[in-house]
A and B are shown apart, each in its own frame.
Chain A
Amino acid sequence: MKRLEKYARGKGLARLVFALVFGCVASAQAGTVKIGVAGPLSGAQAAFGEQFWRGAEQAAKDINAQGGINGDTIELVKGDDACEPKQAVAVANRLVDFDHVTAVVGHFCSSSTIPAFEVYAEAGILSMTPASTNPMVTERGLSTVFRTCGRDDQQGVVGAEFVVKQLKAQRVAVLHDKDTYGQGLADSMKAHLATLGLKEVLYEGLTRGEKDFNALVTKLRSVKADAVYFGGLHSEAGPLVRQMREQGLNVPLISGDGIMSETFVTSAGGPKFVEGVFMTFGADPRKIPSGKTLVEQFRKGGYEPEGYTLYSYATMQAIAQAMRATQSREGVKLAAWLKANPVETVMGTKSWNAKGDLKISDYVMYRWTPAGKYEEVQ
C-alpha cells in the first residue's frame, strides 16, 4: 500500500514538473471536445453500428493528428441504442447529462434517431445522422439536426423510376417491416408509383425478428407480382429473398439502403440467393476521388469501408469544420454556420438547406451480383 502511494505521488510530481516545463503547450492541449457516436453497436443491426464507429474513430484520429479543433483534441463517447427507440432516448440523455458531449454523430435507425434528436435539440446540441433517411428526422422544425445522407422520399423516387422505367414492371408488390424506416420507405415508394400511374398490387408488413416468410411469398405468387419492393433491413430481406427463390418466384426484389452491407449475403444464406436484388444508395463514396487515400488507408488496415463508414467520417469532418470556423461549441451557432457554408468532406462538397437536409442527394441504383458483391446499375 505504502509503495503504491509513493508511486502515485512520484507520478504526480512528474506531471507537475512536466506541466511547469511545458506549461504553455500543456494548457493549449488541456481541452478536449467530447463527441458522441451513437448507433446500434449491439443487436441485429450491429453491422451498421460498426461502420459508424470505424468511420468516426478514423476521422477523430485524423483530425487530432492535424491539430484537433482549435487545439482541442476530439474524444469520442460511444452510445449503444441497439436500434431500439427506448434505449436511444436513454443513450441520448446519458450523452447529454453525464458525458456532456458537444455534438453527436448518429443514430442509425430512424425510429431511434427521431426521439433521440429531440433530446439533443432540447439541450442545444448539434446532432448529425449519417444514415437515418426518414423524412421526419428533419421535418419537425428542430434547428440543430442534420443528416449526411438522403431522404426516403428521394429514395422512393429513384426506386419507383427504376421499377417502372427500367424493369418495366406492371404488378409491383410493396412490403415493409412495420418500422419507422421500413414503412416510411415503402410509403414513399407507394406514393411515387402512384405519380407514375401505377397502383401496387399488394401493400403489407411482415414481423421483424421472424425468419419464415413463406406464407407471404405464396401471397406474392397469388397476386402475380412481377417486382417486389421491400422497405426494411437485411435481417428480414435475406430470408425473404431466399424463400422467394426457393418457392420458384424469380422476380426482382428492390430495397433501400437498409440492406447495404455484405451481412445481407450472409442473412440470405449465400451469394446465389442475392442475384436479382437491387437497392438504392448514395453514389459509392469509395469511388469519389476525395476519399481515395482514406479508402486505401482503411483497406491497408484490413477493413473494407463499406456502407456508412465514409458517411460517418464525413459527418465528423463537417462537425469539426463548423467548430473550427465558428470557434464555438454552441449547437445553434454551429447549425447556422453549416446551413450557410458548404463543407469539404471525404465524400465531396456537402451543403445543407434550412431543414438540415443535403441540398443535393445522389441516390443511384445498385445490383447484387452472383458473387455476393454490389455494383452500380448503369
Chain B
Amino acid sequence: MSFHILVQQAVNGLVLGSVYGLIAVGYTMVYGIIGMINFAHGDVYMIAAYLTAIFLAALTLLGIQSPPLIILLVLLLTIACTALYGWSVERIAYKPLRHSTRLAPLISAIGMSLILQNYVRLSQGARSQGTPTLIHGSLRLFENGPDQFVQITYAQILIVVTAVIGMALLWYWIQATAMGRACRAVQQDRIMAALLGVDTDRVISVVFVLGASMAAVAGTLVTFNYGSFDFFIGFVIGIKAFTAAVLGGIGSLPGAMLGGLVLGLAESIFSGFVNTDYKDVFAFSLLVLVLIFRPSGLLGHPEVEKV
C-alpha cells in the first residue's frame, strides 16, 4: 500500500464526504424539527444541478466571462431558486399533513420525489445533460516519479472549501441568531415552543429553505465538478446522504457532517483497497453495525420520552 494512493483515496473520500454532508444536513434538520424524513430532498439536489446549467447558460448569454464571478452568481441564483423549491415542497406536501399520522407525510414525501423526478424528465428530457468545464487545472502534491503523486483538482478544492464555509455559516446561524434559537427551541419541544410564542410554522419553513439551500450548494458544486447530470441523480445520492445523516445521528447537525465524512471515506477506502463491487454492501453494513452499538448514531442523543 503506497503512501500516495492512501492520501489520494483520503482526498477522494473527503470530497465525496463533503457532498454527502451538505445534503445530509437537510435530512437531519428536517428530522430534528418535525420528526419526518424528507425523501424529496435528493431531488431538490437534482433540481439544483439543472438550475446550475440554466443559470450558467443565461449568464454566459449576458456576456459575463470571468469564471469566479459566474460561479458565485450561479451559486447564489441556484440557492435562491432551490430555496423556493424547498419552501414550496413543504407548503404543498407536508404542511397540510402536519396533524395527521406520522406515516402520511412520509408517503407524501416519496410522492413528491416522484413528482419532481418526472416533472424534470418530461420538461427537460431524459438524456444526460452537460455543462462546460469552468474550473480547469489541478494541484499535484508529493510528486515523486511518473505515477507517484496525489492529484487534487481545483474543483475538488472548491467543493471542500465551500462545504466548510457553508457548514460554518449554518452552525453560526443556529447558535447565534434569534431564528436559530427558535429552531433549537422547536427541536426540543414543538408544543412548548409554540406556547412560549415561537411561530413554529415559520421555523419549519425556514428549516426547509435552509436544507434546500445546502442541497443547492452541493448540486451546483457537483455539477461544476462532474459536468454531467440527469433527472435521476438525486436518488442514489439522496439515499447515501440519508444514510450519512442516520450514521452521524439524525437530528444532529455536527452528526450529519461527521456521518457524511465517515461514509465518504469508508466508501473510498473500501473501494480502493478491498473491492468496488461490494462498496455499497460495506457502507450499509457499517450503518447497521453502528446502529446496533449506538442506536442513535455517532453523535445523536437518544430520544427522551416526555411524560
Name B151's contact: one of A216, A242, A247, A263 (CB within 8 Å): A247
Enumerate chain B residues within 8 angstroms of A201, measured Cβ to Cβ: none
Q: State which residues 184-240 of B face A: CB under 8 Å.
A: 222, 226-230, 232-233, 235-237
Chain B: interface residue count, which band?
Answer: 35 or more
- The interface stretch among B55-63, B74-82, B129-137, B293-301 is B129-137
A340 at the interface (CB under 8 A from B): no
Q: Is A207 an interface residue (CB 8 A)?
A: yes
**Contacting pair B228 A269 (CB below 8 A):** yes
B236 touches A207 (CB 8 A): yes
Which residues of chain A are near B226, meaning CB under 8 Å?
211-212, 239, 242-243, 269
| A309 CB, nearest partner CB in chain B, Å | 15
Residues of chain B from 157 to 197 with CB closer than 8 A to chain A in the complex: none
The stretch that binds A, out of B4-12, B92-100, B103-111, B247-255, is: B4-12
The reply to whether A210 and B130 contact each other, CB–CB distance below 8 Å, is no
- Chain B, residue nearest A212 (CB): B16
Question: Contact at A209–B8, with CB atoms within 8 Å?
Answer: no
B233 touches A266 (CB 8 A): no
Instruction: Please indicate the chain B residues that have their CB under 8 angstroms from the CB of A272 in the complex.
Output: 133
**Stretch touching chain B among A2-10, A39-47, A87-95:** A39-47
Contacts of B285 in A (CB 8 A): none
Q: Which of B12, B233, B280 contacts A218 (CB 8 A)?
A: B12
> How long is the Cα–Cα vector from A224 to B226 in the complex, in angstroms?
24
B2 interfacial by beta-carbon distance below 8 Å:
yes
Asked if A222 and B2 make an inter-chain contact with CB atoms under 8 angstroms apart, the answer reads yes
Most chain A beta carbons < 10 A, residue from B153, B235, B237, B276: B276
Residues of chain A contacted by B130 (CB below 8 angstroms): 265-270
Shortest distance between the CB of A294 and any CB in chain B (Å): 24
Option from A210, A222, A235, A270 in Cβ contact (under 8 Å) with B128? A235
Q: Is the CB of B147 within 8 A of A221?
A: yes
Which of chain A's residues have a CB closer than 8 A to the CB of B237? Answer: 210-211
If the complex has contacts A222-B5, A270-B133, are A248 and B126 also in contact, measured as CB distance less than 8 A? no
Q: Is A206 interfacial (CB-CB < 8 Å)?
A: yes
Q: Which residues of B contact A43 (CB under 8 A)?
A: 126, 232
A78 to chain B minimum Cβ distance, whole angstroms, is: 14
B28 close to chain A: CB less than 8 A: no
| B144: min CB distance to chain A, Å | 14
- Chain B residues with Cβ below 8 Å from A46 are 125-127
Least Cβ–Cβ distance between A263 and chain B, in angstroms: 6
- Which of these, B9, B13, B129, B149, contacts A266 with CB under 8 Å? B129
B105 → A minimal CB distance (Å): 26
| B267 in the interface (beta carbon within 8 A) | yes
* Chain A 297-324: CB-based contact to B (< 8 A → 1; otherwise 0): 0000000000000000000000000000
CA distance A269 to B228 in the complex (A): 6
B88 at the interface (CB under 8 A from A): no
Residues of chain A within 8 A (CB-CB) of B128 are 44, 47, 234-235, 238, 263, 266-267
Question: Does A246 touch B at the CB level, under 8 Å?
Answer: yes
Could you tell me if A219 and B276 are in contact, using CB atoms closer than 8 angstroms? Answer: yes
| Bitwise interface map of B from 1 to 43 toward A, beta carbon under 8 Å scored 1, else 0 | 0100100110011011001000000000000000000000000
Question: Which residues A248-288 have CB closer than 8 A to chain B?
Answer: 248, 263, 265-270, 272
Residue in A218, A234, A268 whose beta carbon sits within 8 Å of that of B8 in the complex = A218
A204 at the interface (CB under 8 A from B): yes
Flag if A270 contacts B147 (CB, 8 Å). Answer: no
Considering only CB atoms, which chain A residue lies closest to B235 in the complex?
A209
Task: Please determine whether B125 and A44 come into contact, CB atoms closer than 8 angstroms.
Answer: no
Name which residue of chain A comes closest to B269, CB basis.
Answer: A215
Flag if A215 contacts B233 (CB, 8 Å): no
Per the bound structure, the CA–CA distance linking A46 and B232 in Å amounts to 12
A218 to B237, CA, bound (A): 21
A246 and B271: CB pair below 8 A? no
A178 lies within 8 A of chain B by Cβ:
yes
Chain B residues lying within 8 Å of A265, measured Cβ to Cβ, are 130
In the complex, A265 Cα to B127 Cα: how many Å? 12
In the complex, A46→B124 CA distance in Å? 12
Which residues on the A side are within 8 Å of B232 (C-beta)?
Answer: 43-44, 209
| Chain B residue with Cβ nearest A46 | B126
Residues of B within 8 A of A266 (CB): 127-130, 228
**Whole-angstrom distance between the alpha carbons of A369 and B78 in the complex?**
34
| Chain B residues within 8 Å of A361, by CB | none
Q: How far is the CA of A210 from the CA of B222 in the complex (A)?
A: 12
B131 A269 Cβ-Cβ under 8 A: yes
Contacts of A224 in B (CB 8 A): 147
Q: Could you give, for residues 41-67 of chain A, a 1 whenever the CB lies within 8 Å of some chain B CB and a 0 otherwise?
A: 011101100000000000000000000
A342 contacts B by Cβ under 8 Å = no
CB within 8 A of A211: which of B125, B131, B228? Answer: B228
Are A222 and B228 in contact, CB atoms less than 8 angstroms apart? no
| A218 B9 Cβ-Cβ under 8 A | yes
Residues of chain B within 8 A (CB-CB) of A207 are 236, 279-280
Q: Which 3 residue pairs are nearest across A and B when measured between Cβ atoms?
A: A269-B227, A46-B126, A266-B130
A-B contact pairs, 22 of them (CB 8 A): A42-B121, A44-B230, A178-B277, A207-B236, A207-B280, A209-B233, A209-B236, A211-B222, A212-B16, A212-B19, A214-B12, A214-B15, A215-B16, A215-B267, A215-B271, A215-B279, A216-B272, A218-B8, A219-B276, A238-B228, A247-B151, A266-B129
List chain B positions with a Cβ less than 8 A from chain A: 2, 5, 8-9, 12-13, 15-16, 19, 121, 125-133, 138, 140, 147, 149, 151, 153, 222, 226-230, 232-233, 235-237, 267-269, 271-272, 275-277, 279-280
> A residues bordering B, Cβ < 8 Å?
42-44, 46-47, 178, 204-207, 209-212, 214-216, 218-219, 221-222, 224, 234-235, 238-239, 242-243, 246-248, 263, 265-270, 272
Given A205-B277, A248-B149, 19 additional A-B pairs, CB 8 A:
A42-B126, A46-B125, A204-B276, A207-B236, A209-B232, A212-B16, A219-B271, A222-B5, A235-B230, A239-B228, A242-B228, A243-B226, A246-B138, A248-B140, A266-B129, A268-B227, A268-B228, A269-B133, A270-B133
